[in-house]
């Protein structure tokens, strides 16, 4: 490793489908020293980076502490992520490590579709109608009173990204999806 290379931290949430992304990160090693930041101990990923930090993403304080120690020992000049689920954690880490990046609060607000839509509404940016509901009864009421039998879009506040968004065409379909996706969400 050349000592004059900048050290780039790469958040990697393990998923075997991301092998192509790891190969792209590996190509960055010509220009950067790479520190992979993984939520799981996956020995095979060590070949894609110069350093590997393993820590559960559910313990951000411990992970950020490890990153601070790593930065002190090896340097750390920037952070990127390969994983949507690590975007807020990356922003928290960059802020704590005093690295360039999006502010953590704004990142969190931008990832919360309801907060984002409320902000757009406050400043007059046109958008589709949206409703936040906390129970199946509220969802059925909004479906009946606001959509009056017309199809609408449901975005569950759980799981990954927009993977489970659905066009709802009936109250029965809404009830079935609500029970499947949302019963545990508070």
Chain segment 26-40, per-residue pLDDT in tens = 999 999 999 999 999
Q: Percent of the chain, pLDDT > 70? A: 92
For residue 117, the model assigns a pLDDT of 85
Is 179's pLDDT higher than 50? yes
What domain count does the chain have? 2
- pLDDT of 16: 76
For helices 60-74 and 87-97, give the axis angle rounded to 10 degrees: 50
73 and 151 within one domain? no
Within-domain flag for 1: no
165: three-class secondary structure by DSSP: coil
Question: CATH code at 68?
Answer: 3.40.50.20
Q: Tell me the mean pLDDT in the region 68-77.
A: 97
Residue 127: domain span: 113-182
pLDDT in tens, 90-135: 999 999 999 999 999 888 877 877 888 888 899 999 988 889 888 8
Q: For the whole model, what pTM was predicted?
A: 0.71
Where would I find the H helices in the chain? Answer: 19-27, 60-74, 87-97, 104-111, 113-123, 136-142, 171-177
Decide if pLDDT at 59 tops 80: yes
How would you list the strands of the sheet with 6-12, edge to edge?
51-54, 32-38, 6-12, 78-81
20 with 97, same domain: the answer is yes
Same domain, 53 and 91: yes
Tokens of 120: 């757009």
């Amino acid at each position: 490793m050349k000592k004059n290379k900048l050290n780039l931290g790469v958040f990697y949430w393990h998923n075997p489908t991301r092998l192509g992304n790891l190969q792209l990160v590996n190509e960055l090693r010509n220009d950067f020293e790479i520190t992979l930041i993984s939520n799981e101990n996956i020995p095979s990923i060590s070949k894609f980076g110069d350093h590997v930090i393993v820590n559960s993403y559910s313990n951000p304080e411990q992970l950020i502490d490890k990153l601070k120690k790593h930065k002190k020992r090896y340097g750390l000049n920037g952070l990127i992520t390969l994983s949507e689920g690590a975007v807020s954690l990356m922003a928290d880490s960059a802020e704590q490590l005093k690295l360039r990046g999006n502010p953590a609060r704004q990142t969190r607000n931008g990832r919360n579709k309801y907060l984002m839509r409320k902000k757009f509404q406050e400043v007059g940016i046109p958008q589709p109608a949206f409703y936040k509901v906390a129970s199946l009864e509220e969802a059925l009421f909004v479906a009946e009173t606001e959509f009056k039998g017309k199809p609408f879009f449901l975005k569950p506040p759980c799981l990954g990204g927009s993977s489970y968004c659905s066009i709802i065409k009936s109250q029965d379909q809404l009830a079935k999806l609500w029970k499947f996706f949302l019963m545990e969400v508070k």
